[in-house]
């Protein structure tokens, strides 16, 4: 029978973070709708942005995993692949074509591989692949970036930290993603009155930007272990003084969350000294960029870590936090797990499809339990595999869950 699509007005279920966020939001919350086919399967439109370097390799694997896990939970996807970053520069001369923005905005969620590479490193700023990514974040208004860093028992020995320091680490960095020094004006490079060149940027946060990211963080902490650490540089920066004041003021609304504040230099130190003290960290755009890379190293490999970037109404953007790794691109050496786990975050945070998300998370653990490792997480006694084989093992693992549940 033809699977005729019918429009469905049933709202997509958003996780509590979203719902709580929107309760506070002055504007009415517009939920996204999905279609349901005649077989009763929900159907979502996903924009895939493979990008550069290892991006295309890891995205094609994550797509298969997403499809498989979805089909087991009555969820179908239609995928549309669009160019971004260096790939877009080569194709049409800009790092973020308008068609890519419209496709992303029209979809239910966006899954991105990676952007950047040596080839475009010397480009002028507006023609850098990274500029395309920042424009995409701004266009989708994804102000809340969730970056979990979890040390899996299977990978404790991949961490450069001592076993007793790394074991059991499970933290979440909530990074503000569309404000601060990344986007603040004035900015530029100019010649001053002495004829000397000066480069300058502006760290600026409006109260509403701090409040909305703080709410996401409080909600996130509430669903985790109830501890929130706000990281700033309030001993030096005015933007941080306001940040601390606003976050502290909101604490009254979340009496069940234990709030602390920490200067960023101390936080960088504490993350390697005793990372288990952290549950949820909330911080600005640039501190979040740096601390999330640091946190990823505790887990052994940046190749393991996913991320979710959420707005308060439109589609989310999901991407591994590793870069494009041009040195290993096209060699079947990349670790696809961060992108596969980003697909799980897409299901959970973007579409509210928690069961399918759990299937993917379990399948990743399944492949690791069988001893499969890509080069970045390899240790003696495990089985070294390439990107494709790791992907196939995860797929098999999703499959074996079917047999287990039949």
138 touches, from Mg ion, ligand IPM, none (C-beta below 5 to 8 Å by class) = none
Q: Which of 44, 63, 128, 182 is catalytic?
A: 182
d(CA 131, CA 137): 10
**For residues 298-337, which are near ligand IPM according to CB under 6 A?**
321
293 is catalytic: yes
d(CA 166, CA 163): 5
265 is catalytic: yes
Both tokens of 335, joined, read 């670790």
> Which stretches does DSSP call E strand in 128-220?
144-150, 170-176, 188-191, 197-200
Query: What values do phi and psi take at 124, rounded to 5?
Result: -60, 155
127 touches, from Mg ion, ligand IPM, none (C-beta below 5 to 8 Å by class) = none
User: Min. distance of Cβ 290 from ligand IPM in angstroms?
Assistant: 9
| Contact pick of 62, 133, 271, 308 for ligand IPM (by CB under 6 A) | 133
Any contact of residue 57 with ligand IPM (CB under 6 A)?
Answer: no
Residue nearest to ligand IPM (CB): 130
Q: Which of 265, 274, 327, 355 is catalytic?
A: 265
User: Min. distance of Cβ 304 from Mg ion in angstroms?
Assistant: 15
d(CA 295, CA 273): 12
Residue nearest to Mg ion (CB): 289
In sequence order, what DSSP letters do the residues of 69-105 get, joined into one string? HHHHTTEEEEEEE---HHHHHHHHSSSS-HHHHHHHH
C-alpha count within 13 angstroms, C-beta hemisphere, residue 235: 7
**For residues 23-42, which are near ligand IPM according to CB under 6 A?**
none
Centre a 10 Å sphere on the Cβ of residue 45 and count the other Cβ atoms it contains.
17
| Contact pick of 81, 130, 170, 399 for ligand IPM (by CB under 6 A) | 130
112 touches, from Mg ion, ligand IPM, none (C-beta below 5 to 8 Å by class) = none
173 touches, from Mg ion, ligand IPM, none (C-beta below 5 to 8 Å by class) = none
Largest CA distance in the chain: 77
Tell me which residues touch ligand IPM (CB under 6 A).
130, 133-134, 289, 321
């Amino acid at each position: 029978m033809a699977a005729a699509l019918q429009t469905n007005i049933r709202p997509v279920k958003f996780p509590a973070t979203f719902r709580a966020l929107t309760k506070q939001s002055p504007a009415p919350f517009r939920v996204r709708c999905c279609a349901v086919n005649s077989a009763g399967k929900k159907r979502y439109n996903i924009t895939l942005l493979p990008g550069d370097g290892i991006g295309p390799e890891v995205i094609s694997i994550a797509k298969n995993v997403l499809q498989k896990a979805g089909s087991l939970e009555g969820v179908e996807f239609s995928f549309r692949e669009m160019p971004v970053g260096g790939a877009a520069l080569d194709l049409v001369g800009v790092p973020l074509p308008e068609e890519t923005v419209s496709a992303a905005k029209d979809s239910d969620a966006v899954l991105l591989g990676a952007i950047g590479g040596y080839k475009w490193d010397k480009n002028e700023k507006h023609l850098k692949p990274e500029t395309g990514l920042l424009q995409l974040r701004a266009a989708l208004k994804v102000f809340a970036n969730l970056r979990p860093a979890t040390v899996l028992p299977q990978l404790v020995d991949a961490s450069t930290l001592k076993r007793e320091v790394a074991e059991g680490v499970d933290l979440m960095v909530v990074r503000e993603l569309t404000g601060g020094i990344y986007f603040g004006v004035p900015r530029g490079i100019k010649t001053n009155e002495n004829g000397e060149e000066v480069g300058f940027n502006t760290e600026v946060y409006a109260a509403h930007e701090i409040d909305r990211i703080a709410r996401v963080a409080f909600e996130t902490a509430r669903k985790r272990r109830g501890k929130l650490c706000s990281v700033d540089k309030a001993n030096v920066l005015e933007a941080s003084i306001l940040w601390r004041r606003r976050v502290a003021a909101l604490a009254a609304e979340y009496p069940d969350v234990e709030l602390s504040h920490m200067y960023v230099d101390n936080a960088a130190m504490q993350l390697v000294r005793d990372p288990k003290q952290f549950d949820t960290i909330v911080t600005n755009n640039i501190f979040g960029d740096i601390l999330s890379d640091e946190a990823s190293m505790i887990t052994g490999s940046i190749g393991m870590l996913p991320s979710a970037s959420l707005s308060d109404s439109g589609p989310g953007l999901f991407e591994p936090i590793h870069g494009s790794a041009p040195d290993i691109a096209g060699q079947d050496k990349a670790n696809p797990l961060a992108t596969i786990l980003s697909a799980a975050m897409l299901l959970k945070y973007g579409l509210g499809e928690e069961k399918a998300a759990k299937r993917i998370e379990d399948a990743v653990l399944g492949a690791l339990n069988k001893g499969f490792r890509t080069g970045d997480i390899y240790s003696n006694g495990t089985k070294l595999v390439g990107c494709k084989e790791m992907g196939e093992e995860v797929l098999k693992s999703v499959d074996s869950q079917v047999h287990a549940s039949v």
